[in-house]
A and B are shown apart, each in its own frame.
Chain A
């Protein structure tokens, strides 16, 4: 046993798969401890908010600023308000207005703005400008007014009695606030989905739920397959015939169709995560049963089994002591594969809309489902579906890698 464990942890493939899997587990265990928000809480207004660090502007103004003179601050400001496309657009307008192109240098901001200010007039009739473009230039003009000034903004409050604005403070261009002093900062590493939920927190919870479903379904499937395979393979005769008949029934009907039918007939109300897990488990046991049965059939004629019989042991004793340990390594591998395929099965069901209730817990499949329905991929909101895909792929990949590693350990013929 010790020797086996040693060999297992020597296998490169197993270690890689194991590390990926354990890292995932660690992340999903530690994350909820740090961030205690409920995963299905809506925090944004139902748009796909992009990932980033969100700093409360109102609180920033209220926080004591620090005066920092950082280099290139002004240029960066200019750059964000007047990017290269805007500059080129300005140049186009000026050229259409009549100024020759070689007099315009888009890199010289001051000169460009000067030329613009002197020449721009929203009422000028320039040929070839669509209405949209005209509006664009008006907006552009508005946004560059005062762009070169170095004075700050004024904060004013409305006096409740007079209705007039009373200045309460200023914000200088050199004022910086320390983000840790701002009370309301939220990191949204994966933004929000269409419902306005924090994708990262949702994803962590969904991973946990999917893993749970995978584990329950995988365990059920392996247990059923193991028991039926053992009994059918060892006892043989009519017991074997009955078990094979049942197995063949389940083989002929594709499991996904069975899943869909059962899921649909249970109805939306009863479909919780555990129910789905049980349903998946009860339809996925077939190949395990077949494989275990064929292994048991080859084992039951071995000498040590015959000697066990001659020593007077009962059938149950022989099955548990003389047959089961010999197929244990296979069963462990089957369990791993069952778990990973159960996770995929749940994802398939959820994408079709037949997964667990959407109001209870998120699952990886459900997140994919929402992303699809709300057209995240068309709108280019990659954070709503790409991380989910990645997690599903990593889980399945790491489990299959572990399985291959184990296979090489237990079956020396496969070693390279």
Chain B
């Protein structure tokens, strides 16, 4: 990270508590971070670590119990619907399950038209809209002519997830939060999705927050990695630092417990509980 790199998203003391009284759960516990523009950051954690809650807080879908979020150096303000819409021009998301990301009653064209409207293109002529949609589809190696007027159930999982990426390409937000985008995709199609995310960063300069439980995936795709456990970030650094030379016990355990191919997977260290 050089000094020229601007801070894109910064969080200070982010906390989220669910429930009241005795049944309080602290999902996110005083998390600080600073993500730079054009960076691919992975947030790695097992289920229950709070990574999805953190993502929703950053997106503005869940309120913060404590803490501040700074976007491009300035404090984030999402107090009104208008301000929220402004904010969402800069930050978008891709979710884990491609099947539930779509409204099954609408054709997929409506998804793109919504994006064009959001970018202020409501009054563009029809051909220009088609041109934008075709360009977005070709970015993800799909042909718009083949997909227009289709319903989501007519597509495969991989195609649906790629269309989600096409949507991001249309919107071109500054930050993309990808919440386990490949965990429901087959191994053969995974590489395509990952490739496209990297391209988004390379061509458009998007900051990508990649949330996953798969530490191998994090290692493959990201510049820097944060490890989350029980709502706290326990270790952070560049991908090489964290994964090849982990310092914390939790990180070491996470890496040891993943089966490997070229290195031995030591089962004798298993401690039963």
Contact indicator A309/B61 (Cβ below 8 Å): yes
- Report the bound CA distance from A313 to B88 in whole Å: 11
- Report the bound CA distance from A311 to B110 in whole Å: 11
Q: Which residues does chain A contribute within 8 Å of B118, judged by CB atoms?
A: 311-312
- Report the bound CA distance from A325 to B56 in whole Å: 25
Q: For B88, give its contact among A302, A310, A326 (CB under 8 Å).
A: A310
Contact with A along B90-109 (1 / 0, CB 8 A): 00110111001111011000
Contact with A along B62-91 (1 / 0, CB 8 A): 000000000000000000010011001000
Contact indicator A303/B97 (Cβ below 8 Å): yes
Chain A 267-319 residues near chain B, CB threshold 8 A: 302-304, 306-314
Contact indicator B106/A311 (Cβ below 8 Å): no
B195 within 8 A of A: no
Please name the residue on chain B nearest to A308 by beta carbon: B103
A322 within 8 A of B: yes
Please name the residue on chain B nearest to A1 by beta carbon: B105
Given contacts A309-B61, A313-B114, A314-B81, contact A303 B103 (CB under 8 A): no
A321 within 8 A of B: yes
Contact indicator A322/B103 (Cβ below 8 Å): yes
Q: Which residues does chain A contribute within 8 Å of B85, judged by CB atoms?
A: 312
Please name the residue on chain B nearest to A306 by beta carbon: B61
Please name the residue on chain B nearest to A311 by beta carbon: B114
B115 within 8 A of A: yes
Q: Which residues does chain B contribute within 8 Å of A306, judged by CB atoms?
A: 56, 59, 61, 93, 95
Residue from the set B85, B100, B103 with the largest chain A CB neighbour count within 10 Å: B103
Q: Which residues does chain A contribute within 8 Å of B106, judged by CB atoms?
A: 321
Contact indicator B92/A325 (Cβ below 8 Å): no
- Report the bound CA distance from A313 to B85 in whole Å: 9
Contact indicator B115/A302 (Cβ below 8 Å): no
Q: Which residues does chain B contribute within 8 Å of A303, judged by CB atoms?
A: 95-97, 100-101
Please name the residue on chain A nearest to B85 by beta carbon: A312
- Report the bound CA distance from A308 to B95 in whole Å: 13
Contact indicator B61/A304 (Cβ below 8 Å): no
Number of interface residues of B (CB under 8 A): 21
- Report the bound CA distance from A126 to B41 in whole Å: 120
> Per DSSP, are chain A's interface residues mostly helix, strand or loop, or mixed?
helix
Q: Which residues does chain B contribute within 8 Å of A314, judged by CB atoms?
A: 81
- Report the bound CA distance from A313 to B100 in whole Å: 18
- Report the bound CA distance from A313 to B56 in whole Å: 17
Given contacts A322-B103, A325-B105, contact A307 B95 (CB under 8 A): yes
Q: Which residues does chain B contribute within 8 Å of A312, judged by CB atoms?
A: 84-85, 88, 114, 118
Contact indicator B92/A321 (Cβ below 8 Å): no
Q: Which residues does chain A contribute within 8 Å of B100, judged by CB atoms?
A: 302-304
- Report the bound CA distance from A303 to B81 in whole Å: 19
Contact with A along B106-131 (1 / 0, CB 8 A): 10000000110010000000000000
Contact with B along A18-59 (1 / 0, CB 8 A): 000000000000000000000000000000000000000000
Q: Which residues does chain A contribute within 8 Å of B59, judged by CB atoms?
A: 306, 310
The smallest C-beta distance from B179 to any residue of chain A, in angstroms, reads: 9
Q: For B101, give its contact among A307, A309, A321, A325 (CB under 8 Å).
A: A307
- Report the bound CA distance from A306 to B101 in whole Å: 8
Q: Which residues does chain B contribute within 8 Å of A311, judged by CB atoms?
A: 88, 114-115, 118
Contact with A along B42-70 (1 / 0, CB 8 A): 00000000000000100101000000000
Q: Which residues does chain B contribute within 8 Å of A325, judged by CB atoms?
A: 103, 105
- Report the bound CA distance from A303 to B99 in whole Å: 9
Contact indicator B93/A321 (Cβ below 8 Å): no
- Report the bound CA distance from A303 to B167 in whole Å: 15
Q: Which residues does chain A contribute within 8 Å of B95, judged by CB atoms?
A: 303, 306-307
Q: Which residues does chain B contribute within 8 Å of A321, judged by CB atoms?
A: 103, 105-106
The smallest C-beta distance from B176 to any residue of chain A, in angstroms, reads: 11
Please name the residue on chain B nearest to A304 by beta carbon: B103
Q: Which residues does chain B contribute within 8 Å of A304, judged by CB atoms?
A: 100-103
Contact with A along B2-25 (1 / 0, CB 8 A): 000000000000000000000000
Q: Which residues does chain A contribute within 8 Å of B105, judged by CB atoms?
A: 321, 325-326
Please name the residue on chain A nearest to B105 by beta carbon: A325
Q: Which residues does chain A contribute within 8 Å of B114, judged by CB atoms?
A: 311-313
Please name the residue on chain A nearest to B98 by beta carbon: A303
Q: Which residues does chain A contribute within 8 Å of B93, judged by CB atoms?
A: 306-307, 310
Please name the residue on chain B nearest to A328 by beta carbon: B105
- Report the bound CA distance from A250 to B99 in whole Å: 39
Please name the residue on chain A nearest to B106 by beta carbon: A321
Q: Which residues does chain A contribute within 8 Å of B92, judged by CB atoms?
A: 310
The smallest C-beta distance from B203 to any residue of chain A, in angstroms, reads: 22
The smallest C-beta distance from B8 to any residue of chain A, in angstroms, reads: 18
The smallest C-beta distance from B45 to any residue of chain A, in angstroms, reads: 20
Q: Which residues does chain B contribute within 8 Å of A309, judged by CB atoms?
A: 61, 88
Residue from the set A304, A309, A310, A326 with the largest chain B CB neighbour count within 10 Å: A310
The smallest C-beta distance from A55 to any residue of chain B, in angstroms, reads: 62
The smallest C-beta distance from A180 to any residue of chain B, in angstroms, reads: 59
Having A303-B97, A312-B85, A312-B118, one finds 6 other A-B pairs with CB under 8 Å, namely A304-B103, A310-B59, A310-B61, A321-B106, A325-B105, A326-B105
Ordered by A's residue number, 17 sampled pairs between the chains whose C-beta atoms are within 8 Å are A302-B100, A303-B95, A304-B100, A306-B56, A306-B61, A307-B95, A310-B88, A311-B88, A311-B114, A311-B115, A311-B118, A312-B84, A312-B85, A312-B114, A312-B118, A322-B103, A325-B103
6 A-B pairs with the lowest CB-CB distances in the bound complex, closest first: A312-B85, A303-B95, A325-B105, A303-B101, A303-B100, A311-B114
